[in-house]
Amino acid sequence: MPDNVEQWLSDLGLGKYAEVFAESEIGVDILPKMNSDDLREMNIPLGPRKLLLEAIAELRAKQESTVITQATPAADGASPDRKPTTSDAERRQLTVMFCDMVGSTALSARLDPEDYREVVRSYQDACAGAISRCGGYVGKFLGDGVIAYFGWPKAHEDDARQAISTGLGIIAAVADIALPDDEGPLAVRIGIATGAVVVGDIIGEGSAQEVAVSGETPNLAARLQALAEPNTIVVAPSTHALAGGLFDYKALGPQTLKGIDGTPEVWRVIGERRVESRFAAAHGPELTPLIGREEELELLVRRWQRAKGGEGQMVLLAGEPGIGKSRLVRALRDRIADEPHS
């Protein structure tokens, strides 16, 4: 750990932010616990924020390594429990998917226990494969149920879309599982919701260990799963809004859900829609004016002019999800719409 925050910032070349950290009463013991939201509240610009997050991650890794190294053996010679001394839990937006196998109780009564075990294992493998391919995280297996998180541990700007795509993939994969004794095809019910949660606390030990998620979102996803018909996906208003026009839906209207305030309008996913791009699906043909990006747009136009003059150009446009990267590209295309280009 650094001796003081001011020296740490100076070593990073960010000494000018020492006063900001001092005003927020950030000490060296607080540094490993900070996240992107904390730095954003302190009005740290994007570039320095990225450097600080990398340095904070290094501090956290060193701190955890020190805890493990300094742990003393138990008196009976057994290996000590190495529990983290700090919490990595954080508040963030998460898309939660609940998936449940239809008719599992009746199926377990009809099949030999070993055959049923193989069916459940094949079902879990199919779900886990679809979830991992779309960047999700399997939070927990509950027998014939699966909880998955999209947006943790790594967030993506299209987590809601990926969750719905995963649901469609699971429905297709589960239908292909062969059942003994000419049993009918397997079916699943899926519920998906998006919202603010606190995620990251590790609870339990050994095989019972899991990532805790606190908030209404997991409960809403579970209620939507119970509402779904076999081989269908029901999504919350938040997920529907974020996925834009990438899918076709059937409105199910306001629903009264146990333990959920109000009567949220929910949608059943019909299938994926063919669109030119995710941006076009989310925003449609009518766009609001581009504000505050004149400098970036002019830079792109200048690079375009150089490319037209024979100087090959390459531009990397990078930024946090939702900051407006696709919108800026669309503005460039509109600007040069009357010129021959590709």
pLDDT of residue 76: 41
The larger pLDDT score, comparing residue 170 to residue 79, is at 170
Q: How many other C-beta atoms are found inside a 10 Å radius of the C-beta of residue 13?
A: 9
Residue with the two structure tokens 């949660």: 197
- 284, amino acid identity: G
pLDDT band at 1 (very low <50, low <70, confident <90, very high): low
Q: Specify the amino acid at residue 175.
A: A
Is the CB of residue 319 less than 8 Å from the CB of residue 325?
A: yes
CB 235 within 8 A of CB 269: yes
The two tokens of residue 340 are 């021959």
| Helical ranges in the chain per DSSP H | 5-11, 18-23, 36-41, 46-70, 104-110, 113-133, 159-175, 216-227, 237-243, 278-283, 294-308, 325-335
User: For 75-87, how does the pLDDT look when each residue is reduced to its tens digit (9 = 90+)?
Assistant: 344 333 333 334 5
Residue 86 is predicted with a pLDDT of: 42
Query: Which CA distances in Å does 86 have to 25, 63, 317?
Result: 19, 10, 36
- Measure the CA–CA gap between 59 and 86, rounded to whole angstroms: 13
Q: What is the Cα–Cα distance from 127 to 171, expressed in whole angstroms?
A: 9
* H/E element, 277: none
> Which three-class secondary structure state does DSSP give residue 221?
helix
CB 169 within 8 A of CB 192: no
Closest CA to 197 of 213, 212, 210, 211: 213
Q: How far apart are CA 244 and CA 320, in angstroms?
A: 19
Q: d(Cα 39, Cα 85) in Å, to the nearest integer? A: 23
Q: Which of 233, 220, 100, 224 is nearest to 165 (CA)?
A: 233
Residue-range domains of the chain with CATH: 5-70 (1.10.150.50), 90-282 (3.30.70.1230), 287-335 (no CATH)
* Three-state DSSP class for residue 191: strand
Beta bridge partners of 271: 248
CA–CA gap between residue 255 and residue 153 (Å, rounded):
31
Judged against a pLDDT cut of 90, whether residue 98 lies above it is answered with: yes
Contact (CB, 8 A) for 137 and 153: yes
CA dist., res. 89 & res. 193, Å (int): 20
Top mean pLDDT of 175-189, 219-233, 263-277, 313-327 is at 219-233
Burial 305-330, CB ≥16 within 10 A → b, else e: eeeeeeeeeeeeeeeeeeebbbebbb
What would the mean pLDDT of 231-236 be, rounded to a whole number?
96
Distances (CA, A) of 177 to 182, 185, 186, 240: 12, 7, 7, 29
Position 202 confidence tier, pLDDT thresholds 50, 70, 90: low
Q: How confident is the model at residue 74 (pLDDT cuts 50, 70, 90)?
A: very low
pLDDT given for residue 340 in this prediction: 87
pLDDT score, position 146: 93
DSSP output for 96-159: EEEEEETTHHHHHHHS-HHHHHHHHHHHHHHHHHHHHHTT-EEEEEETTEEEEEESSSS--TTH
